[in-house]
């Protein structure tokens, strides 16, 4: 376990140094990167972040619309949109994004 923590800390230090090298290409960054990592961690164990997991795949479909795109006389636009989506697209659309 301790070896894994040290490997993670070493990887973090290497990555910080690489980023700093882009900003400060002519500087010796060994001390600066170590100081930065120490300041960020403040004595806490460095933990590897949870990798990003996509919750989308090829079966997802999205409707992007304004809330007042579909109108019916004497009915609130969002009520009309909801009814339309539930009637016509509920089985095929997984997400609706309503623009302001």
The pLDDT mean for the chain works out to 88
Ramachandran class of 74: left when φ > 0, alpha when ψ lies in -120 to 50, beta otherwise: left
How far is Cα 5 from Cα 95, in angstroms, rounded to an integer?
A: 40
By the 10 Å C-beta count (0-12 exposed, 13-18 middle, 19+ buried), 84 is classed as middle
Task: Specify the residue for token string 């170590």.
Answer: 34
Whether 44 has a pLDDT exceeding 80, the answer reads no
User: What pLDDT digit, counting tens, does each position of 61-93 carry?
Assistant: 999 999 999 999 999 999 999 999 999 999 999
- pLDDT number for residue 88: 97
For the residues 36-49, what does the mean pLDDT come to? Answer: 73
Higher pLDDT, 2 or 35: 35
Q: pLDDT band for 51, please (50, 70, 90 cuts).
A: confident
The more confidently predicted of residues 87 and 28 is 87
**Its pTM surpasses 0.75:** no
């Amino acid at each position: 376990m301790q070896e894994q923590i040290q490997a993670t800390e070493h990887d973090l230090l290497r990555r910080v140094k690489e980023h700093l090298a882009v900003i400060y290409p002519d500087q010796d960054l060994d001390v600066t990167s170590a100081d930065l990592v120490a300041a960020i961690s403040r004595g806490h164990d460095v933990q590897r972040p949870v990798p990003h997991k996509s919750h989308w795949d090829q079966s997802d479909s999205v409707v992007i619309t304004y809330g007042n795109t579909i109108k019916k006389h004497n009915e609130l636009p969002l009520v009309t949109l909801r009814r339309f989506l539930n009637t016509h697209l509920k089985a095929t659309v997984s997400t609706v994004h309503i623009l302001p």
